[in-house]
Structure 1
Amino acid sequence: MTPSGPFADLPDVPSFELTSRSFQDGQTLQPPQRSGRLHAGGADASPQLSWSGAPAGTGSFAVTVFDPDAPGAGGFWHWAVLNIPADVTSLAEDAGAESGAQLPASAVQLKNDAGFRGYVGAAPPPGHGRHRYVVTVYALDVEELDTRAGARPASLGSELSKHLLGTATLTGIYERKR
């Protein structure tokens, strides 16, 4: 499967299964996955995620949440977490809290586009229309990606392309009326 969105130029790789108890693919994100910090009436709790069927040779996983419909160039990064061990196949709801307390010890959260390390919930501008929140799990052939201090999710493309074995994707929807 060829990845889409900000990393559309990544290699064509197999897909694997991704599910969530927090939302169904193509359905509206629930209040916990919406933003409180950005005044959308939510809790900024990352969704529960479970995946299976990752390719043989997987050394670690990375997870991103991206809004390609955000105003301005480049969309909006809601979350990026790297270096999830290969034997971890799920993340609890709110694993993306700033503390990272529910993440594996090796995991590294990058700064989201709201400026902090952790998950920021959906918060499209009122009246801007329906936004897609693309959750992607990347299976990688290394235990750790090389990350520089202060790295941002948008800069992950070249590291992912060097190590990508497979992807799994779910998309949540959210719209704020005027």
Structure 2
Amino acid sequence: MKLNALAAAVAFFAAVPLSTAGTARADGFRLTSPDIAEGKPLAEAQVFSGFGCTGGNTSPALSWSGAPAGTKSFVVTAYDPDAPTGSGWWHWVAFDLPASTSGLARGAGTAGGMPAGTVQARNDYGKAGFGGACPPPGAPHRYIFKVTALKVEKLGVDADASAALIGFMTNANALGSATITATYGR
């Protein structure tokens, strides 16, 4: 963790009224995918291989358009807010994607193919890159795939930063975001 990044984030929020802090929705900013769909179950390809699950553990193809003016980089995340951890479960955290990026190929978060300069942080399985869905048996969980446009070229943290710190810095520098929320249960 870079302490100066944390200090900058704290200074930012001290100077910004709470009503304007956080990630904004940008009109016209859209996230689409041939592999996942809003409100629909994930395919076995996006299910983890381990922890009792036997999926393909492949990150979905994602495409985005209509990024806000002034976008200098992107962050891509996949998050399960329903995980019984008290803090959800981070399945994918990739940041410093160049502003020229408008999508990721299927498998880019697992088999390589991320744009040059992109950093993939540890997911909550403890590995860099994408880790698929694997909720405990019971009610289906939600999986929020999100792309956030940033006003900075570099987020200012390294690959060892926690998902919470990356999220904090993302929200401090966000111009807008777009999401797809899929489901999965077993």
Instruction: Give the match for residue 3 of structure 1.
Output: none
Q: Does 1:166 align with 2:176?
A: yes
Match of 2:182, as an amino acid?
Answer: G
Residue 73 of structure 1, CA deviation: 0.7
Instruction: Give the match for residue 41 of structure 1.
Output: 54
- Contact conserved, 2:98 with 2:115, CA < 8 A, in 1? yes
What are the within-5 Å matches in structure 2 for residues 4-153 of structure 1?
A: 10-15=22-27, 16-97=29-110, 101-127=112-138, 129-153=139-163
Please say which of residues 160-169 and 27-36 is displaced more in the overlay. 160-169
TM-score normalized with structure 2 length: 0.84
- Contact conserved, 2:23 with 2:177, CA < 8 A, in 1? no
TM-score normalized with structure 1 length: 0.88
Match of 1:146, as an amino acid?
Answer: G
What is the alpha-carbon distance in structure 1 between the residues aligned to residue 59 and residue 85 of structure 2?
24
What is the alpha-carbon distance in structure 1 between the residues aligned to residue 25 and residue 37 of structure 2?
23
Structure 1 regions of 5+ residues with no counterpart? Answer: 1-8
- Contact conserved, 1:33 with 1:43, CA < 8 A, in 2? yes
Structure (1/2) with the larger helix percentage: 2
Q: Helix, strand or coil for the counterpart of 2:50?
A: coil
Cα distance change, pair 61–40 in 1 and its aligned pair in 2 (3 A): same
Count of residue pairs the alignment pairs up = 165
Cα distance change, pair 54–94 in 1 and its aligned pair in 2 (3 A): same
Once the two structures are aligned, what percentage of the paired residues are identical?
A: 44
Cα distance change, pair 123–12 in 1 and its aligned pair in 2 (3 A): same
Match of 1:32, as an amino acid?
Answer: A
What is the alpha-carbon distance in structure 1 between the residues aligned to residue 53 and residue 64 of structure 2?
28
The structure whose Rg is larger is 2
Structure 2 regions of 5+ residues with no counterpart? Answer: 1-20
Instruction: Give the match for residue 164 of structure 2.
Output: 154
